[in-house]
Structure 1
């Protein structure tokens, strides 16, 4: 995020969910199944640059990226 100058972001911890391999729950003891969502607000140019930089890590770290257009109230802050 710093490398592409994205200043608007949050990390959201996830308690449980489901996916390609079925349902999963956060393991309170080891944290082995811990998952988080990193939510960012950025313009298209910065989002594309970040996606290009993160792409090599997608498979090795079990990551995925979603990019969508949003309308931000007070967007001038980003």
Structure 2
């Protein structure tokens, strides 16, 4: 579009394309010889299900921030009694 926007309904297609790109990248990172046909490894599926996040946009913009956690999130220390 001339004004730099996309129709709101196209956002789903855009996010699906981003997910497909991330899935291909994660698959190749885990197994560079993977054919990208058939099943992915449990490591790749777990990464996609738990470590890919959609961040908040920056104020006043339409930028999607995509985060990939490469380490476990910090967990609070257990309380002592």
Class of the TM-score when normalised by the shorter of the 2 chains: under 0.3
Instruction: Give the number of the structure whose residues are more often strand, by fraction.
Output: 1
Instruction: Give the number of the structure whose residues are more often helix, by fraction.
Output: 2
Larger Rg: 2
TM-score by length of 1: 0.24
